[in-house]
Chain A
Amino acid sequence: MIPEIGQFALALALMIAVAQVALPLWGAQRGDAALIAFARPAAAAHFACVAIAFAALMASFVGNDFSVINVASNSNSKLPLAYRIAATWGSHEGSLLLWTLMLAGWTCAVAVLSGRLPAAVTARVIGVLGIVSVGFLLFMLFTSNPFDRTLPPLDGRDLNPLLQDPGMVAHPPLLYMGYVGFSVAFAFAVAALIDGRLDPAWARFARPWTVAAWAFLSVGIALGSFWAYYELGWGGWWFWDPVENASLMPWLAGTALIHSLAVTEKRRVFKSWTVVLAIVTFSLSLLGTFLVRSGVLTSVHAFATDPTRGVFILALLMVVSGGAFALYAWRANSLGPGGTFSSWSRETLLLANNVLLVTVTAAVIIGTLYPLAIDALGLGKISVGPPYFETVFLPLLAPAILLMGLAPVVAWKQAEGRPVARQAIIAAAAAAVLTAATLLAAGGGSVLTTVGLLLGWWAVSAVVAGVVTRLARAAAPDFAGRLRSLSASYCGMQLAHLGIAVLVLAVTMVKSYSTELDMEIRPGQSGTLSGRTFALEGFSEKTGPNYSAIVAHFAVTEANGRVRSLQAEKRRYFASEQTMTEAAIDRSLTRDLYISLGDPLGTDAGAAWSVRFQVKPFINWIWLAVLMMAAGGVLAVSDRRYRIAPRAARTSGGPSLSPAPSPPAALPAGEGAA
């Protein structure tokens, strides 16, 4: 019964979505207030239906309803409850339903939170979002129905053991919130194109939505990296795997978009470019969806690799993105003239930032798709892996980091030379000193290490110098007052930039100073690595809820005499008969100790095992840095300016997006407002 309800809810959602597209878009075109007013309730009803369908699928998993094919293929009665819930999105069909739910959710959020927007604008945005929803709903109902039924088997095939992990509970939802969230900026851009007027006020409305999506995506990617680090067992945290790249591409484009929106909002320039970028970012989200599900690229993460489904997603990509780009080609002419700015100004630096970030994005796209392109053209089969990405990525990113430290202290429109030069010199000097100190403490480093450290410390120093200068200049009686004078938006920006700086530093440290030791070891033996002794004490056995395991007990003695116990496992899952390695990790802020079991070198009881010991300094700062970035994003979105509307929009109520003639009082005045 429940799966039937879910099926029906999906079909109903599709019908509502079609109406959600047709009526508001038509109404906005004609100025028909009744049709326009249909948008918001339609979005809410659509969300309700998809939510019911999602709940139905989840209930089927929790209740072990194996008559549903999806449940039978991806779950098992012995699977712990948390993973039965996560299995809802553990398959191609289920994750599509998650996508659709997120899309409906973001659409509903736009409907609810856009009270201050002219109704016609909201109607168009909801209509465009509806087009994407229709695409996904059609895709599901016709090729990937999660509610297909079968004669129930005795028990399910179990969720892939790799996915039976807390990471599975959090990573896909967060990731999809990010992917899908970029659809809002996309919808705003397309709505503006449909309107025929590229009024830059759209940037103001789209910006908090984009930053929010970006924050979610950042956390989602970091969680994926963190999960792969402890799950896949060899101590790596980023492989330039096609699916990882599929999430990095919209993130990079989204970062460029956030900066471009800032410029368009404040200075009314780059209007046309920001529209293109908004379309590109969401298109990359869709492209990512395609790459993961179509089987065109090999990946650890690949879903059901079904080329027929791939054709459908490709068609969806063409309709949505192609339609948007076609609209752009037709309408982009109707541009007002942009503002002016001097060569040395924040606009220029942000333009440079965009050029660099977009080039980096293009590099990742080229590297990921090149093997496919070469194969498709019959020119052979090559691999493009980490050596390529690292060679290309780093030289492009380095100038971006340099600019990141510089741009917040350079004024809009026209910057005076001296205060900027002073802050920059102080930051550069601090960076040099800190780099030298780090190298000294670590006992040397390569050229690359030095460059990485310089860039990271430069960015940190620039943030600190910027905040201190701003506090010093604030016109307030006491320190608390000075702190309060910093807007949430400004603090968010600096926090996010600080996160990137810390990321650069952490990655440099991990890549430069990690050590490892491969050895074949028996109980009682030990190896030395980085001043620590890794000893294998012995083996034991253990049975989990749906697996049995051999546990290896290690004792690691640090340089200061402290002994830590670690257990690494080799698990065998009953239902799927897959073997998996669980690495032993001892975490701290300064380093991770990482032990992974290889294979036994013989079948007898006293056989040696091959193991790998690793010491990874400061690796946890990688993920902490991304959390800082996301926190910065959340802080920026919470700024009061997004909750206080320009006065004109409220009084005129017309279909235009014209901003208020005088800036709202809430905006902090002066140079450097973020």
Chain B
Amino acid sequence: MRTTAALLCTVLMATAHAADHEEAARARALAEELRCLVCQNQTIADSHAPLAVDLRKQIDRQIADGKSDREIVSYMTDRYGEFIVYRPPFNATTFLLWCGPFLLLAFGALIAWRVVAGRRRAPAPLSDAERQRARRLLE
């Protein structure tokens, strides 16, 4: 009976510990996606600024409250705007941003294809007049 209880406790603690780890990992991942607005060139995860510390605490609190990642990010953007998120949203304004490189790649590949296809062909055969001219030059 006692062994079962002890086992149960260990499992619960291990789960809690694992959950803790998972929460900490989630908090860190979220904090790394957000910009510290004080220094502006660090993530909230890395910054020592008081605001960054406060926001990290907010993230921890909200994860503990059971909020989803999207809800936490919305919390931040509602108050600070899109600027605080390092991953730009995907909308009409940022379409060129996200799709631009791949569109360029497709465009480049198309041009490259045409160049290669063009080069494969041997030069056009000489016309009669050109052939006569070549013969005259070679003599």
Taking the complex as a whole, does A directly touch B, i.e. does some CB pair lie under 8 Å apart? yes
B75 at the interface (CB under 8 A from A): no
The answer to whether A383 and B105 touch across the interface, beta carbons within 8 angstroms, is: no
Given contacts A338-B119, A370-B96, A383-B88, 9 further A-B contacts (CB under 8 A): A234-B46, A342-B120, A347-B119, A358-B108, A363-B104, A382-B82, A382-B93, A387-B33, A392-B101
Q: Compute how far the CA of A498 lies from the CA of B20 in the bound complex, rounded to whole angstroms.
A: 42
Known: A381-B82, A396-B105, A598-B48. A343 touches B120 (CB 8 A): yes
Taking a contact as CB atoms under 8 Å apart, the answer to whether A340 and B122 are in contact is yes
At the interface, yes or no: A351 with Cβ under 8 Å from chain B? yes
Contact B108 A387, beta carbon cutoff 8 Å: no
Q: Which residues of A contact B89 (CB under 8 A)?
A: 382
In angstroms, Cα B49 to Cα A388, docked, is: 24
- Closest beta carbon of chain B to A222's beta carbon, Å: 20
Q: How many residues in B have their beta carbons less than 8 Å from beta carbons of A?
A: 39
Which of A269, A299, A366, A598 interacts with B100 by CB under 8 Å?
A: A366
- Which 3 residue pairs spanning A and B have beta carbons closest together? A385-B86, A387-B87, A363-B101
Q: Does B112 sit at the interface, judged by CB under 8 A? A: yes
- In the complex, whether A380 has a CB less than 8 A from a CB of chain B is yes
Task: Check if B97 sits within 8 Å of A351, measured CB to CB.
Answer: no
Say if the beta carbon of A229 comes within 8 Å of chain B: no
Residue A367 lies at the interface, judged by CB distance under 8 Å to chain B:
yes
User: Can you report 21 residue pairs joining A to B where beta carbons are below 8 Å apart?
Assistant: A298-B41, A341-B116, A343-B117, A347-B119, A348-B116, A351-B115, A355-B111, A359-B101, A359-B104, A366-B97, A370-B94, A379-B93, A380-B81, A383-B83, A383-B86, A384-B86, A385-B43, A388-B86, A388-B87, A392-B98, A396-B101
On whether the beta carbons of B81 and A381 are closer than 8 Å, the reply is yes
By a beta-carbon cutoff of 8 Å, the part of chain A in contact with chain B is 234, 236, 239, 241, 269, 298-300, 338-343, 347-348, 351-352, 355-356, 358-360, 362-363, 366-367, 370, 374, 379-388, 392, 396, 598-599
Are A234 and B119 neighbours in the complex by a CB distance under 8 Å? no
Assembly CA distance A564 to B93 (angstroms): 52
**B92 nearest CB neighbor, chain A only:** A379
Those of B47-105 within 8 Å (CB) of chain A: 48, 81-89, 93-94, 96-98, 100-101, 104-105
Q: Are A366 and B101 in contact (CB under 8 A)?
A: yes
Chain B residue with the shortest CB-CB distance to A377? B93
Report the minimal beta-carbon distance from B110 to chain A, rounded to whole angstroms: 10
Pair B109/A355 contact, Cβ less than 8 Å: yes
Given contacts A355-B108, A599-B48, contact A385 B115 (CB under 8 A): no
**A357 to B48 Cα, complex, angstroms:** 37
* Chain A residues closer than 8 Å to B85, beta-carbon distance: 382-383
How far is B38's CA from A298's CA once the two chains are assembled, in angstroms?
Answer: 12
Tell me whether B101 and A362 are in contact (CB under 8 A). yes
Does B40 reach chain A (CB closer than 8 Å)? yes
Q: How far is the CB of B39 from chain A (nearest CB, A)?
A: 8
Report the Cα distance A367→B83, complex, angstroms.
14
Measured between C-beta atoms, what is the minimum distance from A228 to chain B in Å? 11
A387 pairs with B41, CB closer than 8 A:
no
Chain B's closest residue to A517 (CB) is: B24
B119 engages A385 (CB within 8 Å): no
**A352-B112 contact given A382-B83, A384-B88, A392-B101, CB 8 Å threshold:** yes
Chain A neighbourhood of B83, CB < 8 A: 381-383
